[in-house]
Amino acid sequence: MDLFHAMKVFNKVVETNSFSLAADTLGLPRASVTTTIQSLEKHLQVRLLNRTTRKLSLTPDGAVYYDRTVRILADVEDVESSFNDAERGPRGRLRIDVPVSIGRLILIPRLREFHARYPDIDLVIGLNDRPVDLVGEAVDCAIRVGELQDSSLIARRIGTFQCATAASPCYLNKKGVPTSIEDLQKNHQAIHFFSSRTGRNFDWDFMVDDLIKSVSVNGNVSVNDGDAYIDLALQGFGVIQGPRYMLTDHLESGALTEVLPQWTPAPMPISAVYLQSRHLSHKVRVFVDWVAELFAACPLLGGSAMPLDQKCKFACDQKTNHEYTIRTLVEQHNIAEARALKT
């Protein structure tokens, strides 16, 4: 049995969730795919797939085997492509993971440019605001916001995540414009953003005398979706604090007005990251270069570049005694990913 061929067939069956689709994709007879899977299971002496007339699913052993073989096949593809890229350009499957808002508002609208430049790279894009196991999910590269400490990741600084505090004119006409952080706390209503994991609302932070000050503001509406968060502000439910790139159009149109601009939230670094132990393939390198160009061209996101092998340590690390701001959400997300890498 050709074990490498069997791995490819097995992975394609899992990815398509179908013996027939896998056979069509690989240009093989369906009977050949079935025989290959049966031979592989016999060779490994375990059942990899649960088969019924309506459903196909991985067994626990099959899930482990799939996770391992995905990485093996990706590494082999990287080795092969490294010898061909000089003549044909980078090619192959590239699995990336990005925060939902960055992916939807920044990456996806410009993706045609990347495809035009590198037509032989097949992108698999995960949009997630949850911690992702970069090893287990075979992610080649991810875009992350905030500090990435105590992890086996390599980072390239590609931009800066800036936030603003804002409210709609109808809200400000009714409640007045806050003149200080204390005025905001005493006389205004916040629209809260809460953690899907714990259900707790996140407080805000402001830069005051070069220190991060955590602030709790009263409010009677809480959501856990960025679009809903901004929609509620547009309707006049209260004041919000969110990413400036998501607010810019509304600020420029007058639908929202920035408040307390003298006390802005502290910026956080945006980085492209990949595993320290993983060979940096040509396709990953060109994607990181492209996304760095994309962010550098945006005044709201452009940041200083760092060497590609720079470890994940950033300057924006002022400490706050408060434990539940949006900043700590980002940090906890990154810590959770770091822990996943160690298990």
The highest-level CATH class for domain 89-162+267-342 is: alpha beta
What CATH topology corresponds to 163-258?
D-Maltodextrin-Binding Protein; domain 2 (3.40.190)
The answer to whether 3-70 and 89-162+267-342 have equal CATH topology is no
CB 59 within 8 A of CB 49: yes
Q: What is the pLDDT of residues 149-164, one digit of tens each?
A: 646 678 888 888 888 9
Q: What pLDDT, on the 0 to 100 scale, is given for residue 171?
A: 97
Average pLDDT over residues 131-136: 69
Q: Is 52 exposed, middle or buried (0-12, 13-18, 19+ CB in 10 A)?
A: exposed
The highest-level CATH class for domain 3-70 is: mainly alpha
What is the residue extent of each domain of the chain?
A: 3-70, 89-162+267-342, 163-258
How does residue 116 score in pLDDT terms, banded at 50, 70 and 90?
Answer: very high
Q: Among candidates 255, 249, 285, 291, which has minimal Cα distance to 271? A: 291
Q: What is the pLDDT of residues 169-213, one digit of tens each?
A: 999 999 999 999 999 999 999 999 987 767 788 889 899 988 889
Give the DSSP H or E segment for 204: strand 204-208
